[in-house]
A and B are shown apart, each in its own frame.
Chain A
């Protein structure tokens, strides 16, 4: 085994060791703690990049497209394995980028707001890395719990009535969902006798008829547990208050938590219910599609009705989750490729929004939040702006406010999917995939639900644009007495980097789309994943 193979376990070990070491450092030495945490996260990003390169270097037509790492050195179906393929590498890099941005932001002041912020943060990264890498259902449960346990602590970071109250709801919902997870996993084990995902996919076609019903029940219960985490309507009402209550850097890293649910659904539906699964092919796809559509409708209404910026950001997370779920439900390779691009782009932009909100709030008059929609509805605005017009002329926008305004505009464009930034490319790629499902886009052959989804994806973008512009005008254009926010460089830098990455994604869209295309193709070829785990043939070999 080459040394680079051992890198696969680094995204789990590194944050675990760093987090544990941070526990030993005294709570008062903030600088040292921040340094250790930052170093660990940067190394994590480097490891993620190397792993991504490793996964991407496997030529497309190879026999096996996934690397497996036997943690205890037992052969694959008997003990825990970690599996690296293009999808998990992509998610690892995304996690590390978000982690780095959120951590940098927190250095301004949030990391001093309560004990053990850095340890909890590292454990969260560890759980995420494990969930993306594991090739075993029960191990997935364990890493889910690690992630959730850390997220409980982080959500309560900074304390306060609002956080504790929404934290209580968040923890209860997730505990109940974890119980469903366990029921599903044990039912699947009872029927098939294995928990290894690759082995499971291998055994499914030979399942007896009565067992298949039980297996479907188990898979459906398991799916509900993931859908709770992915916040599909009507399982996602917990999300908005929880994300609103979280401190800004915590909210930013939480954006990827819903994506874990989406990731698992994407991986398992395509692996277990792909084309070779016999009668099980396509199981659950319709539920995901309609659930995703319902989520988009709900979240679009939510975005339009939001008065507070935090709530708006929460509903943006829901829109992104709903779009991804519907795309997974369609199950087509070109749609999945676009959806992966959208996943990266929307995760980066929503995280940037969560970070930006706190800075923007500093620049607003108190109470502006709640009045924005109400004032518009009652037309109070007209008289006041006339009075003030002559005073406001010639007032130069302060520097910090200008930067924040530009960042806000960019995020609005990203969420809406308008041309210059990556949100547009993402939606364009997805819509192209959807409309070319059968043949070369003959409109009569596209089913009605696809048209519905296409319309909703565009409408949800419009709603995000309207809501963001409404808030933007209130905050940056028409404040009665502009408040100069005191904004530090470490707070603005992560936001600008995240937006810059989205810009880079537009410029380098060709490279990224070819990567997501290859990812989608390998996801639709479950045999290549199974061979990588069970077959013993190293990735990169040509088929015999």
Chain B
């Protein structure tokens, strides 16, 4: 499970960085989205990976923290997803406006020679 997750984060980050460095605005948005997926997975993994453990304390009186998953990174991921979603939507709007105003989907608004 660790290897799978690590590979997933690595591949997502690698593709994201490559796309962010491309000159088209569409590639930029996809790159930033991939990067934010990678970061979200990374945050989740910082609460230690474990399966079959609830993040909330049960009502049965068994309150040994070692039996539970860490709930905090999950809360952080939720916040990060919401904020990332909102800012990416905003970026998309700006991309469309830039496309309309400059008639080009190059990030500088004109083709490089």
Instruction: Verify A179–B35 contact, CB threshold 8 A.
Output: yes
Is A152 an interface residue, CB under 8 A from the partner? yes
Q: Could you tell me the distance in whole angstroms from the C-beta of A428 to the nearest C-beta in chain B?
A: 42
| A164-B94 in contact (CB<8A) | yes
B43 near A182: Cβ-Cβ < 8 Å: yes
- Contacting A at CB under 8 A, from B66-113, are 72-73, 76, 79-80, 83-84, 86-88, 90-91, 94-95, 97-98, 101-102, 107-109
Whole-angstrom CA separation of A455 from B46 in the bound complex: 45
Evaluate contact between A190 and B20: CB separation under 8 angstroms.
Answer: no
Binding site for B on A (CB under 8 A): 138, 142, 145, 148-149, 152-153, 156, 159-161, 164-165, 167-169, 171-172, 175-176, 178-179, 182-183, 185-187, 189-190, 195
Within 8 A of A (CB), among B1-52: 20, 25, 28, 32, 35-36, 39, 42-43, 45-48
Report the minimal beta-carbon distance from B68 to chain A, rounded to whole angstroms: 14
- Contacting pair A164 B97 (CB below 8 A): yes
Q: Which residues of B contact A168 (CB under 8 A)?
A: 25, 91, 94-95, 98, 107
Task: Determine how close the nearest CB of chain A comes to the CB of B99; give it in whole angstroms.
Answer: 10
Cross-chain contact A138 with B79 (CB below 8 angstroms): yes
| 6 tightest A-B CB contacts, nearest first | A190-B46, A186-B43, A186-B46, A165-B109, A145-B83, A161-B101
Minimum CB–CB distance for A445 against chain B, Å: 45
Q: Please pick, from B47, B84, B87, the residue contacting A171 in the complex, using a CB distance under 8 A.
A: B87
A residues within 8 A CB of B86?
149
The listed residue (A138, A169, A176, A179) touching B76 by CB distance below 8 A is: A138
Q: For the complex formed, measure the closest distance between the CB of B2 and the CB atoms of chain A, giving whole angstroms.
A: 14
Chain A residues whose C-beta falls within 8 Å of the C-beta of B109 in the assembled complex: 161, 165
Of B72, B73, B83, B84, chain A has the most CB atoms within 10 Å of the CB of: B83
Given A145-B83, A164-B98, check contact A186 B42 (CB 8 Å).
yes
* Bound: A171/B90 CA distance, A: 9
Instruction: Note all chain A residues with C-beta closer than 8 A to B87.
Output: 145, 148-149, 152, 171, 175, 178
B98, chain A: closest CB distance, angstroms? 5
Residues of A within 8 A of B35 (CB): 176, 179
Q: How many A-B residue pairs have CB under 8 A?
A: 85
Q: Who on chain B is nearest to A146 by CB? A: B83
Known: A165-B102, A175-B87, A186-B43. A156 touches B73 (CB 8 A): no
- Report whether A187 and B102 are in contact in the complex, using a CB–CB cutoff of 8 Å: no
Cross-interface CB contact of A176 among B20, B48, B79, B80, cutoff 8 Å: B20
Which residues of the partner chain B approach A171 to less than 8 Å between Cβ atoms?
Answer: 87, 90-91, 94
What are the residues of chain A within 8 A of B76 when measuring CB–CB?
Answer: 138, 185-186, 189
Min distance, Cβ B94 to any Cβ of chain A, angstroms: 5
Measured between beta carbons, the chain B residues less than 8 angstroms from A195 are 72
Assembly CA distance A93 to B11 (angstroms): 46
Complex interface: chain B residues within 8 A of A172 (CB): 20, 28, 32, 91, 107
Contacts A168-B98, A190-B46 aside, 10 further interface pairs with beta carbons under 8 A come to A142-B83, A167-B94, A171-B87, A182-B39, A182-B42, A186-B46, A187-B46, A189-B46, A189-B72, A195-B72
A137 to chain B, nearest CB (A): 10
A355 to B88, CA, bound (A): 31
> Nearest chain B CB to A75's CB is how many angstroms away?
16
Q: With a 10 A CB-CB cut-off, give which of A167, A175, A183, A187 has the most chain B CB atoms.
A: A175
Q: Report Cα–Cα, A514/B97, bound state, in Å.
A: 50
A175 to B102, CA, bound (A): 22
A450 and B21 alpha carbons, distance in the complex (Å): 37
Q: Give the contacting residue for A175; candidates B42, B46, B80, B91; CB below 8 A.
A: B91
Cα distance, A178 to B76, chains bound together (Å):
14
Complex Cα gap A168–B80 (Å): 21
- What would be 8 A-B contacts, judged by CB atoms less than 8 Å apart? A145-B83, A145-B87, A149-B86, A159-B97, A164-B97, A175-B91, A178-B84, A182-B42
In whole angstroms, how far apart are the Cα atoms of A160 and B32 in the complex? 25
Min Cβ gap B89→A in Å is 11
Q: Using Cβ atoms and an 8 Å threshold, which residues of chain B touch A152?
A: 87, 90, 94
The residue that B36 contacts in the complex, of A142, A161, A167, A179, with Cβ under 8 A, is: A179
Q: In angstroms, how far is the closest chain A Cβ from the Cβ of B54?
A: 19
Partner of B102, one of A161, A167, A179, A190: A161
Q: How far is the CA of A467 from the CA of B88 in the complex (A)?
A: 39
A384 to chain B, nearest CB (A): 36
Given contacts A179-B36, A179-B39, contact A142 B46 (CB under 8 A): no
Q: How far does the Cβ of B41 sit from chain A's closest Cβ, in whole Å?
A: 10
Bound-complex Cα distance A179 to B39 (A): 7
Query: Please, which residue of chain A has its CB at the minimum distance from the CB of B28?
Result: A172
From the candidates B42, B79, B84, B102, name the one contacting A183 in the complex (CB within 8 A). B42
